[in-house]
Amino acid sequence: MKNLLIASTSTVHGGEYLDYLLPTLENHFASCNTILFIPYARPSGISHDEYTEKVSVAFAKINKKIKGLHEFENPVKAIENAEGIFTGGGNTFVLVTQLYENKVMSVLAKAIENGTPYLGTSAGSNITGVSMQTTNDMPIVYPPSFETLGAIPFNLNPHYLDPDLQSKHMGETRETRIKEFHAYNTLPVLGLREGSWLDVKGSKIVLKGELTARLFQQKKSPQELEPGSELGDWS
């Protein structure tokens, strides 16, 4: 049975890395002593080692050890044997490119399908959708495919921001960009606000946190979904 936590962000305003999620993660990874960390997204271009150390400090607070995927000679076997998996945020284009180049995208999807506990934040959440096409990130590298894990039957837009009506900024809003996506695609998109996450158990997907999420569907008005809502049946 699939067992995922899909979070919009790793850090909320005024908080430390992963702190707001730690009580939930302690339960989520209760059966794990060591968690496999996928550092490929490299936020701000930090190294895999630096990123893994940052994650290790956070998980030490709940007495969990972290091992970076880049430390293994055989990343396929590392994922297949993992007790639990965390994919961190950063650049989704870089993350997806590395997952394909290391031949682990399908392996990761299979591990998730088989019930390995998974945590994604930001880019690590983006890849749980059907495709990465609704990411906010700059295309600094070109992945072999936009297709991702398909662990949930829709796409995500993490870090979703509502338009600021007082702002003089005239660039595109997140809502505008998602509407552009729906000019060519029928897949629903969930705008996940900061401090919110999805709890996935099997086929059941529940919105967690204190904020609503914004659902976008082709040729329909956006809809606000309340915390505690069960998601996914949007045909």
Residues assigned a catalytic role: 122, 137, 159
β-sheet bridge partners, residue 120: 6, 87
Of 137, 121, 135, give the one whose Cα is nearest residue 19.
121
Q: Give the 3-state secondary structure of residue 193.
A: coil
Q: CB within 8 A of 121, min separation 6: which ones? A: 7, 8, 9, 10, 18, 86, 87, 88, 89, 158
Q: Give the 3-state secondary structure of residue 122.
A: coil
- DSSP secondary structure code for residue 66 in this structure: E
164, with CB counted inside 10 A (0-12, 13-18, 19+), is: exposed
Using CA atoms of 40, 161, 204, 62 in order, give the dihedral in degrees to the nearest 10: 50
Of 165, 103, 157, give the one whose Cα is nearest residue 128.
157
Alpha-carbon distances of 142 from 93, 96, 100, rounded to whole Å:
7, 9, 11
Q: CA-CA distance, 84 to 206, in Å (whole number)? A: 20
- DSSP secondary structure code for residue 21 in this structure: G
